[in-house]
Amino acid sequence: MERRDEAFDDTVLRASGALFLFGIALIHFLDFFSKLAETPYVAALYGLLMAVTVGAGLALVLSGARAAWYVGGLAAALTIVAYVMSRTTGLPNSTGDIGNWHEPLGQAALFVEGAVVVLSTTALAIDLRARARMPRSVDSQIGESRPRRSVTA
């Protein structure tokens, strides 16, 4: 029964992570064209962010790869840092958003980005704990495509 609960938890965690990653991409897509007109380099960063978050979200759905959690969590955390910088000191050639903390898209972005950071941290902590419980022989075989041959055989 415990194994079934772990599988359910993993599925829910991965689906939630993917949904929030897609949310990050959607929110930045909605603001993309205005940034393209105002500050093209910010629009280019938005495009990169959209590609990374969609890719990480798809990787979570299709494989649940640990790397997807790392990439998604890092992208979300860096985006939060960029948002705070844009609202406090401003970005190069982009000071119009200084003090603009009440923009609805910005608040929605902070919500989904924060959720991705929390979910990725949780997923990676669970994975680390599970790996710590594995016997060394099993842990060393993770990722191998063929079973090892016995030395005595």
**Rounded CA separation 36/135 (Å):** 52
- Domain locations along the chain: 2-129
Please provide the average confidence, as pLDDT, over all residues in the chain. 86
Q: What pLDDT is attached to residue 151?
A: 41
pTM as predicted: 0.80
Indicate whether 8 pLDDT > 80: no
- Provide the pLDDT for residue 10: 83
Do residues 59 and 67 lie in contact, with contact meaning Cβ atoms separated by under 8 Å? yes
Query: In this structure, are residues 28 and 76 in contact, taking their beta carbons and an 8 Å threshold?
Result: no
pLDDT digits (tens, 9 = 90+) for 91-113: 998 888 899 999 999 999 999 99
CA distances from 34 to 12, 29, 104 (A): 35, 10, 15
Amino acid 72: pLDDT: 98
Q: How far is CA 101 from CA 18, 42, 45, 96, 137, in A?
A: 26, 18, 20, 12, 52
Local confidence band at 128 (pLDDT 50, 70, 90 cut-offs): confident
